[in-house]
Structure 1
Amino acid sequence: MDEQLLTRLNNFTTRHTSHHRPIALVTSGGTAADLEVNAVRFLDNFSTGLRGACAVEQFLKRGYAVIHLKRVGSVSPFGRLVENQVGEGGGRLGFESIGELFDCGEDGGIDLDGDFGFNRTKSGQAKSADPWLYSTESNATNSVDEIYSTSKSKKTYGELSLNPRLTHSRVLQSTVRSYNNILQQGLMITITFRTVDDYLQKLQVCCEAINTAGSLGLIYLAAAVSDFYIPRDKKAVHKIQSRDYGLKKTDSRNTAQVVAADNTLTIILYPVPKVMSTLRDEWCPNAFVISFKLETDSTILRQKAVMAMQRYGVHLVIGNELKTRYEKVFILSRSGAGNNDDESNNKECENELPDGFSVIEITSASSTATHSSSKVDALEDATVEYIVRQHFYYISTKVDATQPNMSSVELFAQTTAEAEKNHQARLHASYRKLQKEKLKSRMFELVWNIGGSALGVAISYGLARMLQQRQQIS
């Protein structure tokens, strides 16, 4: 593991814990399962990381510091808001949406093939299909067009500039300001993964780092982890051939991929190691852990949620069905674990649960936010709000099993005091390291100066001797 990453994580967790700030580890995106060591083909899932990205924003909004463990190329917090403003419906930039970034002129481009990129006004005049481009109609009443019509007319041919509709967008300005404040305060670290092995390795490192925070730590496991993969010693080293060409093979290992005589490929997949028990018992035993379950059958979903809580001892399980995953979720918890009696639980669901468990259904309508850009944002806002309440109840009641006589307040004070001590020790160590580097740099500079002076003296002496010898010869 990268030592620099370990140092960053440890500095991050100790600094924020010493300031009594809760820390959330949020995982998002899907994991890839490579079929070869030198991977050309791999198995993947449809997860985009949207829910995790929304959750990161919500935790930051509520004062948490966040470690974001995300899939490479998945949805990014804050960046997704910019994409939604700039891009097309899917939030990605396409050819037709380039005008959203730049003022491409009144015509919006060149008609390369008939009506390509254009639609027509009633008068038959070409009009850009890109809604962000300026209207070419003479009777346009759009206020932004009117405001910037003067500056637009002053543009020289071929000049590009950012579209004023973007530069004056309240959503973009608010997003950039929020992101800038987060960077300045050092409230977020982003760590990327791609494969199952990479994810599990980095998950362990992140959990061990967040263990410093004790009950202030929260683990939000929103990543879609593969259930099956191929271990490294079972993978083909090189690309799997589409058929048996009779070529000489350099890899003699017994792999999990077999190409039959009829050119069909058989792949043996192995179950991904379950690390939840290790996470709860060893990596971060005092953290508040939330896991996710996604199914297509609601009955199986509730049963697996109960099994996860019974088997691994997680504090909450968020269940969602595939078709309605962006509209509603249900959260399974143990009865009495900070649940409010006035919350409207789904009684039909509770009747299907064993004793000692309770469930609450949360929908996008449950959000109390004054404005949300989408149902996903509203749903995640309500979900994280409920989770934060449960987490703070957990902090207030957490008792260390090794010190049963210590109250939750005393345990919290001890945790933050230890974090403060470690934080100060790291600061002193960094200071001493910096001083040593400065001293080393000065020593090198001094050596070079002395060496340069000595070399100059030697050269001068040598030149003087040569001149004297020439004078004596002449």
Structure 2
Amino acid sequence: MAAAFLNQTSKPERLDEKRSEILDFIEQQKQVDRKVVLVTSGGTTVPLESKTVRFIDNFSVGSRGAASTEYFLKKGYAVVFLHRNRSLKPFLRHLSTYNFLDLLELDGENQDAPVKVKSEHQKRLSSILRDYEQVQRDRSLLWVEFQSLSEYLHLLQMCSTCLQGLGKSAMLYLAAAVADFYIPKDQMPEHKIQSAEGPLQLSLQLVPKMLEPLVKEWVPEAFVVSFKLETNKDILVSKSLQALDKYQHQLVIANLLETRKREVKLVTTDNCVDISMTTEELSSGHEIEEKIVRELASLHSKFCSPDGH
């Protein structure tokens, strides 16, 4: 079903060019013996018309994927950041709550006065810029952008197959919030749906699960991490174990909608590790993604070792 879906949907523009960019990036990382993680981030849109005016969306803004990317980089990984356009991005996310111009001021009164960062923001911006410039020097971050559900799934397949040559040194951290439903192209109106035609009735089809071909065909040796978001705590772990049994990947990060920034569970077939944040940690600016990535890096190192321990 996954192959049929991909065959029936349009490929993103410049797909071959993007593939070449990713393969070049991966080759650079192999030369310096750096592990690579594919981080997927943000929500996926589901168009309602071929010439899209309206679409279905979800609440994800990509905060977990963007934050985790920074911590993977600090752990020495290279990152292919497959993200929704206009979602939160590594480093830039720290400025998302500001009006950018409010961070700046003119250094003098004349017409050609230079612009500088206000003193109260200099320390924070200096730290962010220092980390970003180090990543730029290392050439350890590659940005790949998507908008719609079909774009995401085509790019996920392409990025995954590009990682095959890394074997166990590749990790996939599938944090994107992927739509469960879509409208097949042959059932989608070409032009904008007119409100004059009355109430809108939609018939949505299930999106095929891509985790199975990803694990078995696209990148079979990689360390694959998926996410399970629920609102009912009583089924959280059982649903995660069901996913591990069905798809045969390595780990599920299980979280509840209301508490996902304070606590998660790392679920494997033989263990369940609780990761949580104290009130003091959160109030001092620490993020749960730092603890998640630290644990994953340790598990991935064991996965890569000759005996798997």
- Check whether TM > 0.5: yes
Give the SS at the match of 1:198: helix
1:242 alignment partner, one of 175, 179, 195:
195
Deviations 1:209-260 (A, max 9, x none): 111110000000000000111121111110111133xxxxxxxxxxxxxxxx
Secondary structure, aligned partner of 1:317: strand
With over 3 angstroms needed to count, the CA separation of the structure-2 counterparts of 1:219 and 1:372, relative to structure 1, is farther
1:139-194 Cα distance to aligned partner (Å, 9 max, x none)? xxxxxxxxxxxxx7x6348967334316x722211211221121122101000001
Aligned to 1:19: 32
Aligned equivalents of 1:209, 1:398: Cα separation in 2: 26
Q: Hey, what's the Cα distance between the residues in 1 that align with 2:114 and 2:26?
A: 44
- Alignment-mate amino acid for residue 141 of structure 2: M
Q: Does 1:42 pair with 2:55? A: yes
Structure 1 position 204 matched with structure 2 position 207: no
- State the 1:372 CA deviation: 8.8
Q: Please give the residue correspondences for 1:9-408 in structure 2 after superposition, counting only pairs within 5 Å.
A: 9-81=22-94, 83=95, 91-93=97-99, 98-103=101-106, 155-156=109-110, 161-165=115-119, 169-244=122-197, 263-335=198-270, 358-365=271-278, 374-375=285-286, 377=287, 379-397=288-306
C-alpha distance in 2 between matches for 1:35 and 1:373: 43
Quote the Cα distance in structure 1 between the aligned partners of 2:101 and 2:126. Answer: 20
C-alpha displacement at 1:319, in angstroms? 0.7
Which one is further off, 156-165 or 5-14? 156-165
CA contact under 8 A between 2:81 and 2:143: conserved in structure 1? yes
8 A Cα contact 1:17 1:216, kept in partner: no
TM-score for both structures, normalised by structure 2: 0.89
Instruction: Tell me what 1:462 maps to.
Output: none
Please tell me the root mean square deviation across aligned C-alpha atoms, in Å: 2.4
Contact 1:318/1:332, CA 8 A, preserved across alignment: yes
Cα 1:159–1:224 change in 2 (3 A) is: same
| Counterpart residue number, 1:449 | none
Is the 2:45–2:55 contact (alpha carbons within 8 Å) kept by the matching residues of 1?
yes
What's the CA shift for 1:398?
6.2
Provide the aligned length of Structure 1 versus Structure 2: 296
Which secondary structure state, in structure 2, belongs to the residue aligned with residue 171 of structure 1? helix
With 187-196 and 235-244 compared, the bigger mean Cα shift is at: 235-244
SS at structure 2 position matched to 1:324 = coil
Q: Distance in 2 between matches of 1:66 and 1:42?
A: 29
Query: For residue 63 of structure 1, what is the amino acid of its counterpart?
Result: G
Distance in 1 (CA, whole Å) between partners of 2:63 and 2:48 is 26
Secondary structure in 1 aligned to 2:168?
helix
Report the Cα offset of residue 366 of structure 1: 11
Q: Which amino acid aligns with 1:162?
A: K
Partner letter of residue 101 of structure 1? Answer: L
CA distance in 2, matches of 1:23, 1:301: 29
Q: Which runs of 5+ in 1 are unaligned?
A: 85-90, 104-151, 245-262, 336-357, 400-407, 409-474
Post-superposition Cα deviations, 1:26-67, rounded to whole Å, max 9, x if no partner, equal 000000000000011100000010000011000000100100
Could you list the runs of 4 or more consecutive aligned residues of structure 1 that deviate by over 6 angstroms after TM superposition? Answer: none
Q: Is the 8 A contact 2:46 2:57 kept in 1?
A: yes
Q: CA 1:186 to 1:270, structure 2 compared with 1: closer, same or farther past 3 Å? A: same
Mapped contact 1:215–1:398 kept (Cα < 8 A): no
Aligned to 1:456: none
Q: What is the distance in 2 between the residues matched to 1:398 and 1:101? A: 54
Shift in CA distance, 17/366, structure 1 to aligned 2, threshold 3 Å: farther
Instruction: Decide whether the 8 Å contact of 2:38 with 2:82 is kept in 1.
Output: yes
Cα distance in structure 2, aligned partners of 1:290 and 1:177: 29
1:7, CA displacement in angstroms? Answer: 1.1
Q: 1:157 to 1:207 in 2, by over 3 A?
A: closer
CA distance in 2 between counterparts of 1:56 and 1:267 reads 36
SS at match of 2:294: helix
Q: Deviations 1:368-408 (Å, cap 9, x if unpaired)?
A: x9x99635x2x110111001110000001468xxxxxxxx9
Rg comparison, structure with higher value = 1
Structure 2 residues not aligned, in runs of 5+: 1-13
Query: Which amino acid is 1:391 matched to?
Result: H
TM-score normalised by the chain length of structure 1: 0.59
Give me the whole-angstrom Cα distance separating, in 1, the residues matched to 2:102 and 2:173: 38
Correspondence 1:4 to 2:17: yes
Higher normalized strand content (fraction of residues):
2
Q: Do the aligned partners of 2:173 and 2:226 also contact (CA within 8 Å) in 1?
A: yes
Residues in 2 aligned to 1:389 and 1:226: alpha-carbon distance in whole angstroms:
31
